[in-house]
Amino acid sequence: MTNVEVSLKTLLTEVEGALGAAVVDYTSGMALGTLGGGKELDLTVAAAGNTDVIRAKMRTMETLGLQAEIEDILITLGTQYHLIRPVSGRTGNGLFIYLVIDKGRSNLAMARHHLRRVEEQLEV
Q: Please answer whether residues 114 and 84 qualify as being in contact, where contact means their C-beta atoms are separated by less than 8 angstroms.
A: no
pTM of the shown model = 0.93
Averaged over successive runs of 10 residues, the pLDDT of the chain (124 residues) comes to 88 96 94 91 94 94 92 96 89 87 97 95 85
- C-beta of residue 2 within 8 angstroms of C-beta of residue 69: no
pLDDT for the residue numbered 2: 77
CA–CA dist 24, 28 (Å, integer): 9
Contact 53, 60 (CB under 8 A): no
pLDDT for the residue numbered 92: 63
pLDDT of residue 1: 57
Q: List the beta strands (DSSP E) in the chain.
A: 18-25, 30-36, 73-76, 80-86, 95-102
pLDDT at res. 124:
78
Give residue 91's pLDDT.
61
